[in-house]
Amino acid sequence: MALHLSFLGDCQKKIVELQKRVTETGKNVLSRTQRWQRISTVLSTTCDVVLTFSQGTQEEHIQWFIDLLHTRVPELVVQIHKHRTSGQSALYLTACFRDLLMGAEVLGIRKPLAPEHGGGLREFSMEELDLFDGATNETSFLSSGERSYIVYNYLMSLCAREGDAWTDEITFSEGQPLIRALQSVGFIHQIFPVHQVDELKQLKANWGKLTKCPITGRLTRTYPAWRRTLILFFFTGPVVLLSLVAVVLVTFAFVRLQEHADAIAHVDYDSVPLIFLLWYTPKVLLAMVILLMDLGYRRLATWLTDLENHRLDREYHNHLVGKLLLLQFMNSFYSLFYTAFYLQDIEMLQQYDGPDDDFLEMFIQFGYVSMFSCVFPAAGVLALLNNLIEIRGDAFKLTASFQRPFIQSANDIGIWQLAMSFMGYAAVIVNVGLLNVSGAVQDLFPQLDAAQSILLLVVVEHCIFVLYYALAALIPDTPSSVLHQIAKLEHRRREALRVSIHSNIHIYKFIDRLAKV
């Protein structure tokens, strides 16, 4: 009898515990639902970066992600908002000023020093906060681009730990960057910084195999270097070479077509009405083909560079720019070289209409102005006017037509500087060659024969190269004002260090005296 009573008592206790668990689970579910409904209707008043989820993403998955951010990236201030038009949920991300300063120190962002501390730029440090100009001003010390850059790096620092899984089918390896992984599976739709309205008003005036890293001991994605080399030499190289051959063949075909059109139009000029249109048809077709080939070569260069799978952004950028420079250089200038040096018809060289987009267009513009301005002298003035207008046009596009891009720190313009230097050498050679083709040397020195004229031009070319090197050596890479500020900063650093050492010596002596007493 007592055994039965004990059994019934245990059953009653388990039933009570089960009721408590059910009640607590219900409260947790209700609390989570209410919290979701509450925070999803709150508009973000301070936001630096927006993260949007794909349509149809379940609320529990979003909440799982938010909980990860709260526990592993506590520096981020997260607010959620439901976009009515797209039906997507979005996280508005920012950070407090102190965490932003800590992020600036980790990223090595350079900020100006106060004038009394020598001025100039220096990598930010929390320990030397008082040395920086306006470091206590929360609104102006960090620009909106720097704020979004810091918040973005905080977000990208979120990595998986052992046991993390989004669903039963999708799991993560330890140390794997979660943001990239969630973007690849379609969980995260977009990440972008937001514009600051006040600043805009002022302005308007697939990745490799998992291998164990020998340094960290973690699984990381790597790509065999031998495979990239094979692609470069046995696929990318032949494809680019075939593309260059295609440019030569297409240009040669249109030049021949122009010759036939000129011959027909010259014979039937008086008998056939509107025969003059035949003169311009090959020119218009060639211009259209050049534009289409430019678009095709850009996509081809991007696809080939993606296929090479470079590890660093700088390597990817250099290989992409190298392909674009080679392909677009031939596509834009081959017809001009053929006309000037083979047909030797200077009057057929077309004037440059002016670029309006990016570094590549600036490269092409520089090529036109430096190599063929002797044919059309006003090209330099037109290029200057184009660049003045393009400055404001690019600003309008970045602020009104496109999402705001994240800032990228850079010491220089990279491979473009090398490309511009090579273009300068090419410009000297081309202009000297045009002097010979146009007959200017024979007009100035009629007593010289062909061999002597070429020898004279070679001497002139080498003299220009010597002048080029001399100017490059005379103009310093760093302005004297910057060197002066750096020297002043170093002097103030040494003075501060000397004062600090003397102060510490006096303190130690005072402590010794107290100890003796």
Dihedral pair phi/psi, residue 166, rounded to 5°: -80, -50
Contact 365, 380 (CB under 8 A): no
Q: What is the 3 state secondary structure string of 353-395?
A: CCCCCCHHHHHHHHHHHHHHCCCCCCHHHHHHHHHHHHHHHHH
Q: With bands split at pLDDT 50, 70 and 90, how would you rate the model's confidence at 23?
A: low
pLDDT of residue 213: 67
The alpha-helical segments, DSSP class H, found in 40-83 are 59-72
Give the residue-averaged pLDDT of 433-445: 77
List of E strands, 54-201: 76-82, 89-95, 110-112, 121-123, 188-193
Residue 351 has pLDDT above 60, yes or no: no
Contact 194, 148 (CB under 8 A): yes
Confidence tier at 223 by pLDDT (50, 70, 90) = confident
Q: Is the predicted pLDDT of residue 37 greater than 50, yes or no?
A: no
Pairing mode, strands 49-53 and 76-82: unpaired
Indicate the helix (H) or strand (E) that contains 219.
Answer: strand 219-222
CB atoms within 10 A of CB 428: 18
Q: Whole-angstrom Cα distance, residue 384 to residue 376?
A: 14
Above 80 in pLDDT, residue 200?
no
Q: What is the number of other CB atoms lying within 10 angstroms of the CB of residue 273?
A: 8
Could you tell me which residues come within 8 angstroms of residue 354 by beta carbon, excluding any fewer than 6 positions away?
Answer: 365, 382, 383, 386
Phi and psi for 152 in degrees, rounded to 5? Answer: -65, -40
Q: What percent of the chain has pLDDT above 70?
A: 73
Q: Which of 14-23, 98-107, 246-255 has the highest mean pLDDT?
A: 98-107
Residues 465/428, Cβ–Cβ less than 8 Å: yes
Residue 175's pLDDT band (cuts 50, 70, 90):
confident
At 445 the three-state DSSP class reads coil
**Average pLDDT score over the chain:** 75
State the Cα–Cα distance between residues 236 and 325, nearest whole angstrom.
15
Angle ∠(436,437,439) on CA atoms, nearest 5: 70
DSSP state of 117: G
Please indicate, yes or no, whether the overall pTM of this predicted structure exceeds 0.75. no
Find the range with the poorest average confidence among 103-107, 229-233, 287-291, 341-345.
Answer: 341-345
Instruction: Give the pLDDT confidence score for residue 337 in this predicted structure.
Output: 63
Q: Is 501 buried (19+), middle (13-18) or exposed (0-12) by CB count in 10 A?
A: exposed
Neighbours of 103 (CB within 10 A): 23
What mean pLDDT do residues 24-41 have? 44
Phi, psi of 300 (to 5 degrees): -65, -45
Q: 60-69, 152-161, 237-246, 426-435: which has the minimum mean pLDDT?
A: 426-435
pLDDT of residue 201 exceeding 50, the answer is: yes
What DSSP state is assigned to residue 347? G
Asked if the model's pLDDT at residue 425 lies above 90, the reply is no
CB contact at 8 A, 275 and 268: yes
Nearest to 146 by CA among 49, 43, 70: 49
Give me the sheet containing 188-193, strands edge to edge. 76-82, 89-95, 49-53, 188-193
DSSP H or E segment with residue 220 = strand 219-222
* Max Cα-Cα span within the chain: 137
> Residues 21-33: what's their mean pLDDT?
52
Minimum mean pLDDT among 106-110, 164-168, 200-204: which range?
A: 200-204
Across 43-47, 471-475, 482-486, 490-494, the highest mean pLDDT is recorded for 471-475
Top-confidence residue, 14 or 280: 280
CB 77 within 8 A of CB 93: yes
Residue 501 has pLDDT above 50, yes or no: yes
Mean pLDDT, residues 220-242: 83
8 Å CB contact between 182 and 57: no
pLDDT band at 153 (very low <50, low <70, confident <90, very high): very high
Identify the residue with better confidence: 475 or 510.
475
DSSP 228-249: HHHHIIIIIHHHHHHHHHHHHH
| Lowest-pLDDT range of 91-100, 299-308, 400-409 | 400-409
Mean pLDDT of 379-397: 80
- Looking at the chain, the whole-number percentage of residues with pLDDT higher than 90 is 4
More confident residue, 237 or 400: 237
Question: Is the pLDDT confidence value at 63 over 70?
Answer: yes
Pairing of strands 209-212, 121-123: unpaired
What is the C-alpha separation between 321 and 225, in angstroms, rounded? 20
